[in-house]
């Protein structure tokens, strides 16, 4: 029960983080957001290691473990987060989220290819639904563009203007999905045998590596000037985003420490629901809420559930007939 509650609260914070990130990129840039939100994770997870007593694991990690954690941190917190912010800035979080469910699909494919996991009927259904989700959203693109054009026309000179760029948004959403889908495999390989609380310690290493990369990027001509020119409003939203995502990740690790992955992972997919709810309250004028967008979000969410649910759990819930059980228990290879 505790694991389920922690997972749900983690999903809530993830959803709130996405809404805060959206507010930040309305007046700021993805580079500014990455530069603020990534370094904030370092002190948060250092405190987490002290609270959970997992700091001693730093001396137990092998060289290979550190290498994998550094790689995961750079891919997830620099490439993935920057691409995520670029995508959200370009077309809004509600369009981005179904595309990013591809990260769950990629994680499953890599797990089958690298970790010798199997393809099941549920996963096949999940793959179809995850692919169908972004396709379903397409009819609402023109409506959303028309909506933003009307809002821009009504804005005064100081108002926030937003014009969607779907090509940029989809490209960076796919890049972020690739980054987010790859890192679970790296973390799984790095932390095998270290126990559930090792995730807290691993995040310190990953965040430090990502922060080092961000600091190196600041040295490029013009970059530091761009970062330091952000408005106070953007800084506050980016800082809030960094804190929120740090809290949500720590809650996720806490949930995994007291509950099995088969329980935690499906519950975390409710992030999509919380994202839509918070987007409605915080970003209603700058997010799409058309029927096809919501249908795409719902279908992709079902796909993510199917990809992460255990076949055994589904059979226990449904108590299906022998024919349905045979379908559900099919595996490949």
Full domain range(s) for residue 276: 2-332
pTM score of the predicted model: 0.88
Q: What pLDDT is stored for residue 156 in this prediction? A: 58
Per-position DSSP letters for 11-39, written without gaps between them: HHHHHHHHHHHHHHHHHS-HHHHHHHHHH
Q: Which helix H or strand E contains 332, and what residues bound it?
A: strand 331-332
What is the spatial distance between Cα 290 and Cα 158, in angstroms, rounded to a whole number? Answer: 27
Contacts of 62 (CB under 8 A, 6+ apart): none
Residue 158 pLDDT: 56
What was the pLDDT predicted at 193?
80
Cα 92 to Cα 7: distance, rounded to the nearest angstrom: 25
What pLDDT is recorded for position 20?
95
Q: Domain tally for the chain?
A: 1
Give CA–CA dist 250/255, Å, rounded: 9
The radius of gyration of the chain's CA atoms, rounded to the nearest angstrom, is 20
pLDDT average per 10 residues of sequence, the chain (333 residues): 85 94 94 96 94 91 95 96 96 91 81 78 89 89 83 66 89 94 87 84 96 94 91 95 94 82 79 92 88 93 88 85 87 79
């Amino acid at each position: 029960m505790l694991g389920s509650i922690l997972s749900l609260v983690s999903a809530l914070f993830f959803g709130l983080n996405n809404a805060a990130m959206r507010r930040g990129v309305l007046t700021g840039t993805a580079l500014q957001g990455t530069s603020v939100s990534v370094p904030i994770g370092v002190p948060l997870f250092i405190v987490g290691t002290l609270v959970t007593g997992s700091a001693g694991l730093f001396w137990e990690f092998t060289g290979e473990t550190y290498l994998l954690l550094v790689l995961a941190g750079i891919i997830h917190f620099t490439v993935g987060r920057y691409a995520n912010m670029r995508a959200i800035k370009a077309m809004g979080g509600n369009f981005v989220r179904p595309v990013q469910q591809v990260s769950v699909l990629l994680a499953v494919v890599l797990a089958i290819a690298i970790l010798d996991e199997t393809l099941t009927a549920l996963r096949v259904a999940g793959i179809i639904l995850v692919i169908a989700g972004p396709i379903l959203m397409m009819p609402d693109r023109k409506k959303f563009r028309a909506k933003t054009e009307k809002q821009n026309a009504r804005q005064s000179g100081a108002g926030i203007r937003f014009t969607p760029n779907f090509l940029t948004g989809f490209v960076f959403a796919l890049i972020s999905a690739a980054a987010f889908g790859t890192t679970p495999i790296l973390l799984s390989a790095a932390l095998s045998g270290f126990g559930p609380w090792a995730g807290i310690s691993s995040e310190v290493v990953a965040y430090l590596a990502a922060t080092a990369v961000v600091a190196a990027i600041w040295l490029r001509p013009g970059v530091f000037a761009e970062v330091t020119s952000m408005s106070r409003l953007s800084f506050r939203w980016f800082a809030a985003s960094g804190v929120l995502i740090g809290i949500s990740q720590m809650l996720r690790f806490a949930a995994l420490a007291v509950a099995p992955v088969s329980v935690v992972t499906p519950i975390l997919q409710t992030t999509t629901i919380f994202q839509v709810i918070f987007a409605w309250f915080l970003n209603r004028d700058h997010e799409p809420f058309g029927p096809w967008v919501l249908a795409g979000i719902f279908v992709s969410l079902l796909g993510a559930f199917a990809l992460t649910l255990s076949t055994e759990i589904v059979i226990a819930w449904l108590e299906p007939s022998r024919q349905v059980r045979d379908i559900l228990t099919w595996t490949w290879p």
